[in-house]
Amino acid sequence: MRRERGAWVRPLGILASLILVLNFGFPEAAPAQAKLKVGVLHIGSMTDGGYNQAHAEGIAVMKKNLPEVEVIEVENVPETADSERVMESMIKQGAKLIVAASFGYLDPTLRVAKKYPDVKFVHPAGYKRAPNLTTYWASTPEAFYLMGIAAGTTTKTNKMGFVCALPVSFFLANVNALHLGARSVNPKVETRIVFTGTFLDPGKEATATNALLDQGSDVMGMIVDSPITVVQTAEKRGAYSVGYHYLGVQKFAPKGWIGGVAFTWGGLYTRFAKQVMDGTWMSENILGSLASDMITLAPFGPAVSPEAIKMVNDVKKSFLDGKKEVFAGPIKDNKGAERVKAGEHWSTDNLGKMDWLAEGIIGQTK
């Protein structure tokens, strides 16, 4: 059977050249002279309802605050040498500030930063810096502790469940904080934790939530990319939930919502852009806390009593005044070993070394 090859290839060729023309042929309709170009790299999708969306919304806030700033935003950039190429292409397009919004971009960013000393770089949660690379993050255990107080007073079965992607130290710190907060008002609370081994698998998250609810948990917490599945599954079975990452999740639990912890980066990104424009930017290590604008607590749900809210606010005040520590000793881990001595506390700088779960949490970290 003979076929006309041309008949098939030609329309494709026309289509391809059309796309090329549409992409590159016409000058950009953007403002002729932006004061600053900002390049942003996301590891996932900007609409994931979680980690990436929080960063993307922060950038959107910055754009709103500073209309003179132009943004080049790229999604789904792998944490490989590809990210270096994306950064360099942004710099060639005139970007003077690069937001490399994922942990794994750290080393690529360092390499590109060395090559382009006049471009500023910012990186979340990095532990290495350079003269033109700032690292920033916000510490969440205090916020989780406060949610724990609300959860500990609300639970009826004295059992909490937690769905967590991986046993990473910063996550364990949040789980411990939630549990310790709950125990501070209700010593009978026990917490069961299930690791799903992945940040994104809603089917598995639903099954894990059901498994925890089967064990009598009536408060669910989670650290996965999107909190929606866990919150929704808990709500359906009449359980409460504490959200993370994404404030919009509240609408999925009109009855069982306790509260939530979310990142709000808009203020910080606006400050970065302003500093670069007026020349006051400098390399630093920023660690936001409850007092900063980088963490927002979602409004409490109807299940939380006014007394509980008062307790939360009192403890919040002592955190802000520096009178209270989340991990104040004595704290034992769930194998009986003493991890924090009486009178001491596990400092925020040390969170990366937390590889244990507190007494009363049922689960394995390794």
Per rule CB under 8 A, is residue 212 in the interface with other proteins? Answer: yes
Interface pick for other proteins out of 192, 271, 274, 345 (rule CB under 8 A) = 192
| Of 104-112, 198-206, 305-313, 351-359: span binding other proteins (CB under 8 A) | 198-206
Which residue, 49 or 78, has its beta carbon nearer to other proteins? Answer: 49
Per rule CB under 8 A, is residue 194 in the interface with other proteins? Answer: yes
Per rule CB under 8 A, is residue 104 in the interface with other proteins? Answer: no
DSSP 191: E
Interface pick for other proteins out of 129, 204, 271, 274 (rule CB under 8 A) = 204
Please tell me the distance from the alpha carbon of residue 167 to that of residue 194, in angstroms, as a whole number.
Answer: 10
Strand 331-332 to 338-340 pairing: antiparallel
Per rule CB under 8 A, is residue 208 in the interface with other proteins? Answer: yes
Identify the CA nearest to 226 among candidates 54, 43, 102: 54
Interface pick for other proteins out of 49, 78, 267, 329 (rule CB under 8 A) = 49
Identify the CA nearest to 41 among candidates 5, 9, 12, 83: 83
Cα torsion for 235, 238, 241, 243, to the nearest 10°?
Answer: 10
DSSP 237-270: TT-EEEEEE-GGGGGG-TTTEEEEEEE--HHHHH
Q: Six-digit token pair at 332? A: 């034992």
Per rule CB under 8 A, is residue 257 in the interface with other proteins? Answer: no
Per rule CB under 8 A, is residue 44 in the interface with other proteins? Answer: yes
Identify the CA nearest to 184 among candidates 6, 98, 311: 311
Which residue, 130 or 211, has its beta carbon nearer to other proteins? Answer: 211
Taking phi first (over 0 means left), then psi (-120 to 50 degrees means alpha), and beta for anything else, what does residue 40 get? beta
Number of residues that bind other proteins (CB under 8 A): 46
- Tell which positions 124-163 bind other proteins, by CB under 8 A: 161
Per rule CB under 8 A, is residue 198 in the interface with other proteins? Answer: yes
Interface pick for other proteins out of 109, 140, 226, 270 (rule CB under 8 A) = 226
Q: Six-digit token pair at 249? A: 């999740």
Q: Distance between alpha carbon 170 and the CA centroid of its chain, in Å?
A: 11
- List contacts with other proteins (CB under 8 A): 1, 44-45, 47-49, 53, 161, 167, 192-198, 200-208, 210-212, 214-215, 225-226, 228-229, 232-233, 246, 248-249, 251-252, 362-366
